[in-house]
Amino acid sequence: MYNFKIHKLFILLAAFLIFKGQAIFLVNSTLTVLLHEMAHARVAYGRGYVMNRIVLMPYGAVLYGEEKMKKEDAVAIALAGPLFNVFIAVLLFALWWLVPTLYVFTDSFAYANLSVAFFNLIPVFPLDGSRVVLALSENKPKTLKKLKFFGVLAAFLLFAFFIYSAFFEINITAGVMAVFLYFGAVSGTQKEMYTYFSDLGAGVKNTLNGVEKRSLFVSEKTRLVKLIRMMNENTLTDFTVVNEKFESAAMLTERDLEEIAMTNDANAEIGEILKKRNGISRR
């Protein structure tokens, strides 16, 4: 059972499209994105995840549910939507060959499915292509930073095209998608980063029950991922990195580690990372 909800902005956009005589485009695009999200949800359900809340937005639809997934599950769920859209398009192409008269009634729906499929496979956040790249990445913080950059870049390019189209025949879809990509890239990557650090033991501090301040001494050979796992919601930790002689090489806060994780391999030794990095306080 799917839980559907319609955003108020979608209603406004739908009214505008109907006023502009684009009711058929509205129906085809809405049905296409709904089938896309339902395919995501169905594959997620088959793999043991609950993702059944679908919200119709001005730029399409958004599926909500569980976000912590195994690598192979995340890839399968991300690809399910685009692949189902391609399946529908291919099915319609076959029907045209068998019954050519169907083309007039279904061509826009077929091409809407192809457009949604290939657009979502672009590896920019928060599109499905980026979900696949992120799931396969060995360094999620670094990958997220790149996906965010390309998402914002794509948003600005789309918005520039939207402005350009205003001088000829304005393309509302480009403007809406530009806004979607921008906010998805900015806020979505922040949420993904929180989920990543939460999985490793960091995340939001439980200040309601009190947070203990502590200091830990760690070897230069300690791997970054192990340091991150030492963080948790009940403590605020400062790390003193020491060499083999137990001499202090650097002082790191939790914020320092999060910033380091954005640009370095999670399995790298902290000592090797610090040798390449400037701006960290040393003793």
What does the pLDDT look like over 161-190, one tens digit per residue? 989 988 887 777 788 788 888 887 877 666
- Of 214, 183, 41, nearest to 191 (Cα)? 183
Tokens matching residue 228: 């991150």
Share of the chain above pLDDT 70, in %: 85
Radius of gyration of the chain (CA): 24
**Tens digit of pLDDT for each residue in 30-48?**
899 889 988 988 898 888 8
> If you classify domain 207-276 with CATH, what class do you get?
alpha beta
- The domain spans of the chain are 1-121, 128-199, 207-276
For the stretch 109-135, pLDDT in tens is 999 999 999 988 999 888 889 889 988
Question: What stretch of H or E contains 12?
Answer: helix 8-19
pTM for this model (two decimals): 0.68
219 exposure class (CB count in 10 Å sphere: 0-12, 13-18, 19+): middle
Residues across the chain: 283
Q: For residue 192, what are the CA distances in angstroms to 11, 135, 142, 143?
A: 29, 11, 12, 11
Does residue 256 or residue 87 have the better pLDDT? Answer: 87
Residue 283: is its pLDDT beyond 50? Answer: no
Task: Tell me the three state secondary structure of residue 57.
Answer: strand
- Rounded Cα–Cα distance for residues 242 and 196 (Å): 27
Rounded to whole angstroms, how far apart are CA atoms 283 and 126?
Answer: 41
- Give dist(CA 124, CA 81) in Å, integer: 16
Out of 2-6, 38-42, 190-194, 235-239, pick the least confident.
190-194
Mean pLDDT lowest among 30-44, 82-96, 100-114, 204-218: 204-218
Dist CA 168 CA 158 (whole Å): 16
* Residue 187: CB atoms within 10 Å: 11
Nearest to 154 by CA among 188, 133, 127: 127
Highest-pLDDT range among 18-27, 83-92, 129-138, 252-261: 83-92
- Asked if 59 and 176 touch (Cβ cutoff 8 Å), the reply is yes
In angstroms, the CA 250 to CA 281 distance is 6
Crossing angle, helix 8-19 and helix 172-199, to 10 degrees? 160
At 282 the pLDDT is: 41
Amino acid at 112: A
Tokens for 72?
A: 């192979």
CB atoms under 10 Å from CB of 241, counted, come to: 25
Quick one: pLDDT band at residue 201, thresholds 50, 70, 90?
low
**154 near 177, Cβ under 8 Å?**
no
